[in-house]
Amino acid sequence: NAGVTQTPKFRVLKTGQSMTLLCAQDMNHEYMYWYRQDPGMGLRLIHYSVGEGTTAKGEVPDGYNVSRLKKQNFLLGLESAAPSQTSVYFCASSYRLGSNNEQFFGPGTRLTVL
């Protein structure tokens, strides 16, 4: 099992450009999450999904869109990047029936917006 994978690992964008971050999991998890991590602020939830075809807003959804067309994939889109979106982005997945709800994390994508 590869667990949770994220692509790309690094990216530099100019203000106004768009991009999509891809997250994939091979654990048959129902729930998937996108977080951003900024120094001293811990993890903030951007969007999450409770199953294929569903998405929901988290704590900081503005400027981001997501899609969950397949159970194993969760895409995070930035339509018009802004410097305030410079951050490290983590994808996570969770929920197997009877589990302790542990979230499994990908290695992160470091995004810089100039």
Partner 1 sequence: GEDVEQSLFLSVREGDSSVINCTYTDSSSTYLYWYKQEPGAGLQLLTYIFSNMDMKQDQRLTVLLNKKDKHLSLRIADTQTGDSAIYFCAESGSNYQLIWGAGTKLIIKP
Q: Which residues bind partner 1 (CB under 8 A)?
A: 4, 31, 33, 40-43, 45, 48, 50, 56, 58, 90, 92, 94-95, 100-108
- Please state the closest distance from residue 59 (CB atom) to partner 1, in A: 9
Work out how close the CB of 50 gets to partner 1 at its nearest, in angstroms, rounded to a whole number: 6
Task: Decide: helix, strand or coil at residue 85.
Answer: helix
User: Closer to partner 1 at the Cβ: 17 or 52?
Assistant: 52
> Which residue number, 17 or 37, has a Cβ lying nearer to partner 1?
37
C-beta separation of 1 from 26 below 8 A = yes
58 residue type, one letter: G
Classify residue 78 by burial, with Cβ atoms within 10 Å: 0-12, 13-18, 19+. buried
